[in-house]
Amino acid sequence: MGREPIAPEPPHWRTGLLIVSDEQSRAGEYLERAAMLRALAIETRYPEVRQRLLGMATAFERLADQVEKWENARLARAAD
């Protein structure tokens, strides 16, 4: 008998933009999202949309910084 066709993977699986390994920190996830938003901002031709995307990217970068500080503080407390 013939093999059944394999369903194609969703586009985000192929690009890896939304897939994050278990080992990666939340800060890393937020930085990936910021990079994705910045890439979208470059591609858009609408200035207002570009500004909103860049603003969201900046917010994700700030969140990543804060989460990284929290994670480092937690690790420092655990080492004590």
13-60 pLDDT, tens digit per residue, is: 444 444 434 335 888 999 999 999 999 999 999 999 999 999 999 999
Higher pLDDT, residue 54 or 70: 54
Q: Are 41 and 58 contacting, i.e. CB atoms less than 8 angstroms apart?
A: no
Q: Is 11 within a domain?
A: no
This prediction's pTM: 0.65
The domain total for the chain is 1
Q: Is 3 within a domain?
A: no
Domain span holding position 50: 25-79
Q: Is 14 within a domain?
A: no
Q: Is 13 within a domain?
A: no
Q: Is 71 within a domain?
A: yes
Q: Is the dihedral of CA 72, 56, 54, 31 positive or negative?
A: positive
Q: Quick one: pLDDT at residue 2?
A: 53
Q: Is 2 within a domain?
A: no
The DSSP secondary-structure symbol of 22 reads T
Higher pLDDT, residue 67 or 37: 37
Instruction: Say which residue the tokens 């910045």 belong to.
Output: 38
Q: Is 70 within a domain?
A: yes
